[in-house]
Amino acid sequence: MALRTQLNVAAPVKRTDKGEVPAYKLSVNDMVIKAMALALKAVPDANASWTDSAMVKHKHADVGVAVSIPGGLITPIIRKAEEKTLSVISNEMKDLASRARSRKLKPEENQGGTTAVSNLGMFGIKDFAAVINPPHATILAVGAGEQRAVVKNGEIKVATVMSVTLSTDHRAVDGALGAELLVAFKRLIENPMGMLV
């Protein structure tokens, strides 16, 4: 949260017809997308899909993000998310979500992908299990960040904690491999400075 605030304060301004606005405004979800993409890069065996003829291992992390629209959900895809900066992911996600809600996405913008993120934290949901959207082999359900008591160096402290739940298609990503992916995600999201390099 502190890094997100620092990055948003440091955002350069750009001139628009509405005056000067920040060039980006990062959300927690933008950081989750980037962390999931980099976790898949760190655990390439989890970046896979099961098909009728074979298991496919993907070269890039194309992360679908669940967006609520009237009548259901749609998952626009951030392509090659592991290669993009947080600001690019943020601006691309805002554009995709806006066009998804107005039903103006091109078919290729919400088809395929290698994984997905479903974030219900903004609704105050602490934790939940998300349903996998084929051809993805994984989906990360993200709950709300909330202050909880934690033990640090033998003392009880207050920390902001976010719960995530990984659902996997065990034909492509079994429990052990899923756990390895979550460990990589946890390392990145708890040390987000590493996503900047």
The strand pairing partners of 97, in sequence order, are none
Classify 111 as helix, strand or coil: coil
**Catalytic residue list contains 60:** no
Two structure tokens written together for 172: 């492509």
Two structure tokens written together for 58: 């993907």
Distance from C-alpha of 43 to C-alpha of 184, rounded to nearest angstrom? 8
The answer to whether 128 and 94 are in contact (CB under 8 A) is no
Helix (H), strand (E), coil (C) string for 118-182: EECHHHCCCCCCCCCCCCCCEEEEEEEEEEEEEEECCEEEEEEEEEEEEEECCCCCCHHHHHHHH
Distance from C-alpha of 92 to C-alpha of 116, rounded to nearest angstrom? 16
Distance from C-alpha of 142 to C-alpha of 115, rounded to nearest angstrom? 14
149: phi then psi, degrees, rounded to nearest 5 = -80, 130
Annotated active-site residue in 58, 60, 136, 170: 170
Active site residues: 170
